[in-house]
Amino acid sequence: MCGPPPTTTSTATAAPEQPPITPQLGDLAPDFIAETSDGEIRFHEWLGDSWGVLFSHPADFTPVCTTELGAVARLHDQFAARDTKVAAVSVDTAESHRAWSPDIAETQGAEVNFPLIADPDRRVATLYGMIHPRHDNTATVRSVFVIGPDKTIKLTLTYPASTGRHFGEILRVLDSLQLTAAHQLATPADWQPGQDVIITPGVSQEEAARRFPDHRVIKPYLRLTPQPARP
Ligand code: BEZ
């Protein structure tokens, strides 16, 4: 016998939504296989030994996204000079990405020259925590992940749907990350390529004298040196 339903004095509440799990700095970048505007991508295999930038946009055929993808297409040679492969992702289909691409070329002055990942089932978006339900329950936010040749996450950024990103800043971060990887150098606030860089604290003074003969010691913990040329 079932009996009457249990009485309750409070309205039913859903379990609190869990925040998206976004990979953090140092984590292994999740691998995936997906369709793109240019065919299938096996993400880690596609990255190879290169650096990578994976960035999400909310939706195809939207104004801010159109300008962003055009900006990245125009920077193709800059990313290539940094041995960096770029891919974009949204919850749209590959067919939609292909249909949208001519508009980007027409309005932004550059053909899309990188894969647009299709993610209609949100697998990639979920792996990377790109849907922030209290901002937008269905579309990806503007996430950026920089991935090193070791496939770990080197940078995360999250912008709201209404703010287009400054992709020159992503290039600047790549320059900084690559200085750290190659030379144990860091970059100061507002650094621009060509300006002096910082010798990281892990480098002894003896080693600094040997490797960076033109460096100057402002404080024992603040040592500056001219930026070395890219290898
Ligand atoms: C855009 O790309 O223009 C856009 C997309 C979603 C929300 C707001 C703006």
Protein residue with its CA nearest to atom 6 in ligand 1: 161
**pLDDT at residue number 5:** 44
Cβ atoms of residues 66 and 98 within 8 Å: no
- pTM exceeding 0.75: yes
Nearest CA to ligand 1 atom 1: 64
Ligand 1 closest atom vs CA 164: 2
Give the largest CA-CA distance in the chain. 88
- Looking at residue 94, its pLDDT comes to 98
- Confidence (pLDDT) at 230: 75
pLDDT higher than 60, residue 7:
no
The atom of ligand 1 lying closest to the CA of 139 is 6
Treating both helix axes as pointing N-terminal to C-terminal, what angle do 63-74 and 94-108 enclose, rounded to 10 degrees?
70
Distance 47 CA to ligand 1 centre (A): 28
Q: What is the secondary structure of 192-212 as a DSSP string?
A: -TTS-EEE-TTS-HHHHHHH-
Task: Please say whether the beta carbons of 140 and 124 come within 8 A.
Answer: no
**Mean pLDDT to the nearest integer, 94-105:** 98
User: What is the pLDDT confidence band of residue 3, given thresholds at 50, 70 and 90?
Assistant: very low
pLDDT band for position 231 (cuts 50, 70, 90): low
Could you tell which of 56, 61, 65 is best to mutate to test the pocket of ligand 1, judged by most ligand atoms within 8 Å of the CB? 65
Instruction: State the pLDDT at residue 20.
Output: 73
Q: Which residues form ligand 1's pocket by a CB distance below 6 Å?
A: 58-59, 62-65, 161-162
**Ligand 1 atom closest to the CA of 63, numbered from 1:** 3
Confidence band of 128 (pLDDT split at 50, 70, 90): very high
| Residue of minimum CA distance from atom 9 in ligand 1 | 162
Confidence check: pLDDT of 212 > 80: yes
**Comparing C-alpha atoms, which of 98, 84, 72 is closest to residue 46?**
84
The chain-wide mean pLDDT, for the chain, equals: 93
Active site residues: 65
Sheet containing 84-90: order of strands:
39-42, 33-36, 116-118, 84-90, 51-56, 142-147, 153-159
The pLDDT value recorded for residue 2 is 40
C-alpha of residue 164 to centroid of ligand 1, in Å: 9
Q: Which of 55, 60, 61, 64 to mutate to test the pocket of ligand 1 (most atoms within 8 A of CB)?
A: 64
Q: What is the mean pLDDT of residues 34-61?
A: 98
For residue 21, the model assigns a pLDDT of 85
What one-letter code names the amino acid at 86? V
CB 224 within 8 A of CB 198: yes
